[in-house]
Structure 1
């Protein structure tokens, strides 16, 4: 049975170990794991499945389920979910419901991976800060103290690219806005909330608290080198921080900068392809494999993930995982996009580009977001025709 995923980072060895254990315990089934870069994975899977040379089971992100369901690359999993007695009661509702498209289940969630807030405890102590900030006032005060007493020239780096648009997604929701309307038919990120979120981000550049023109993931490099003290990044970075000798760090929930808590997150979901659906043996093997990995998702959590299953999150073993259990507290605040075909392809050329242009000082927030929203509306409309056909 072919199992494809995009776990090319530090998470890959964890999944390989779980696949090897499944193969050892289930000699009648051989799972062959194929790992590709996510950027190659999504374009390749539909063609490979159509030719019969693709995956039988795969991992897809939450914003890709509707697209691949509409293209008939993946098949409904309602019978598998029922057969495995997987129910909403054992999952975070937001991720369970996001796995449906047109009232059918296409994804069985394995995890949720939210943004987290990481702080350099050593630099905070030097600046006289004893508590990790939880709100806007506390965050801004910490930046001031770190720059003053702490002697950190740039305490909080604002990137022009990844993960800037994820931070923006968190903040716009905190200020009462959203990226799209509930139907996923219209862009709403150019609202007052969107402008406020983006202007808050860029205010740190204007004040000199962040360098200008911070490139992709440069804030993460700076955090490793202790050249910044506060940063927002994915839960998956926890194992990277742990590798850095002498780095005293701690994870916390994304602070409430706006009026209410909210945080960007995504989720890895198991899917079964139309290729496997043609073979009853492959379907049976898929069911057994999904069940096995889902039941052992505590091991997967160690790669830097929050298990989707409540029964796993409630276990003493999970609660002993300090970073994962802290960031799991954010699940009620998670922001997922609407379950609409093509939604994942709208991000980069629209609001991700707008955030980039504003952070680089090329455009004002309102103008950039308006331009991005206009383009997003056009793409969303085109997707409606494309996938309806």
Structure 2
């Protein structure tokens, strides 16, 4: 036991050492009359490029504040961030997914924003209410959402047209209901058996996201009770959604099993459809010769609903409060949300209704075709165990897709595991 405690202690010291290195000794200092702010982020690839562009725009837009960002590896980001903030060595500005925010708020690591928002006249009403509400805890704002990124439905126009499933406006002709969706997929398959009808994985996050969407389209309630103390899975609806997806794999056989890279067949024009997050838009539109369309996830049941998450900007608590720096940081966060027309080039849906209604946004291809999905995102309950609960759900759903467990057994096990987790 002593060895384990000593090992944990050493690991913590190593993490803190890395964190101090990441800060580069410039957190929130004032230089040449400017307020210097350091942000930690987890953005790589295109997301990282667009975020840097917005930071540069902010720095050029005024002469009082300068923001620099440190990009951490995704796998290590939250561990380093939480450890640093708890030790009083965190950045001035942090990025959090909405789904991770309950954990950060519960640990007392995020600054309440309302007094600061009033002082800089931040207008919360300019934000999409569905996106914003997921960042509000006990009536208090703890983060500025900059987007939402739901799963959506992409389709290859050439393949749909060949099967008679494309209308005159370039939209897919899908009859209503779950049967209509199945018939649509089976028609595509019958028209070209060599084509990948529906590019989609057989395990992991993506099947979970689709199951979450269909479960809530059926009217299923959150898997955790309102008081966050016990599971409350609506098993009949959970089973129905899982069985529908299982049929796509094994009965209709419109999804090839165990696809290692499900983007590749769609990107190369060898798949008719794919369901994934809006973040794929930037990749697909840069693919030469790919004539595709995209719409919100089709409504197969009673209610329009989809899975989604959001990136938010929050202000980590500081060892020593500095109102001037905090106001500057919040001004920066609001600026980033105001310039969502840059961020949406990565595919994300901006959090501000003013951006979505702007001509600049409307003139972008594809985005306007799926921006309504922002209203359909069903965020999880604000439990500080959202991520471990998701891991439990994914692990048990994977046994269904692999035909190792029946849906009934899988959801019984899922319920037991969630109950054990919440009891700790």
Instruction: Give the TM-score of the pair, scaled to structure 2.
Output: 0.84
SS in 2 for 1:330: helix
Across the aligned residues of Structure 1 and Structure 2, the Cα RMSD in angstroms comes to 1.9
Q: How does 1:272-291 map to 2 (within 5 A)?
A: 272-275=315-318, 278-291=321-334
How far 1:324 sits from its partner (Å)?
1.9
Does residue 210 (structure 1) correspond to residue 246 (structure 2)? The answer is no
Give 1:146's match in structure 2, choosing from 163, 185, 188. 188
Does residue 354 (structure 1) correspond to residue 396 (structure 2)? The answer is yes
Give 1:124's match in structure 2, choosing from 141, 146, 160. 160
| Structure 1 residues 231 and 193: CA distance shift in structure 2, 3 A | same
| Structure 1 residues 274 and 222: CA distance shift in structure 2, 3 A | same
How far 1:154 sits from its partner (Å)?
3.5
2:314 is matched with which residue? Answer: 271
How far 1:277 sits from its partner (Å)?
6.1
| Structure 1 residues 123 and 361: CA distance shift in structure 2, 3 A | same
How far 1:275 sits from its partner (Å)?
2.0
How far 1:170 sits from its partner (Å)?
0.3
2:60 is matched with which residue? Answer: 24
Does residue 196 (structure 1) correspond to residue 240 (structure 2)? The answer is yes
SS in 2 for 1:347: helix
How far 1:143 sits from its partner (Å)?
1.3
| Structure 1 residues 381 and 102: CA distance shift in structure 2, 3 A | farther
- Structure 2 distance, partners of 1:279, 1:324, is 39
- Structure 2 distance, partners of 1:315, 1:276, is 40
- Structure 1 distance, partners of 2:71, 2:38, is 11
1:11 is matched with which residue? Answer: 47
- Structure 2 distance, partners of 1:50, 1:260, is 41
SS in 2 for 1:39: helix
Q: Which blocks of at least 5 consecutive residues in structure 2 are unaligned?
A: 1-36
Q: How does 1:163-182 map to 2 (within 5 A)?
A: 163-180=206-223, 181-182=225-226
Give 1:245's match in structure 2, choosing from 288, 291, 300. 288
Paired residues, number: 379
- Structure 1 distance, partners of 2:276, 2:344, is 17
2:420 is matched with which residue? Answer: 378
Offset from partner CA, 1:272-316 (integer Å, 9 cap, x none): 011276223421321221232122122112221111111111112
- Structure 1 distance, partners of 2:414, 2:320, is 39
Q: How does 1:291-306 map to 2 (within 5 A)?
A: 291-306=334-349
| Structure 1 residues 24 and 316: CA distance shift in structure 2, 3 A | closer
Does residue 58 (structure 1) correspond to residue 94 (structure 2)? The answer is yes
| Structure 1 residues 261 and 284: CA distance shift in structure 2, 3 A | closer
Is the radius of gyration larger for structure 1 or structure 2?
A: 2
- Structure 2 distance, partners of 1:375, 1:104, is 31
Q: Which blocks of at least 5 consecutive residues in structure 1 are unaligned?
A: 383-389
Instruction: Give the TM-score of the pair, scaled to structure 1.
Output: 0.91
8 A Cα contact 2:200 2:275, kept in partner: no
1:79 is matched with which residue? Answer: 115
8 A Cα contact 1:172 1:189, kept in partner: no
Offset from partner CA, 1:65-108 (integer Å, 9 cap, x none): 12111212111011223334344432222222111123321111
How far 1:152 sits from its partner (Å)?
4.0
How far 1:179 sits from its partner (Å)?
3.6
| Structure 1 residues 123 and 21: CA distance shift in structure 2, 3 A | same
- Structure 2 distance, partners of 1:186, 1:173, is 19
2:411 is matched with which residue? Answer: 369
8 A Cα contact 1:212 1:360, kept in partner: no
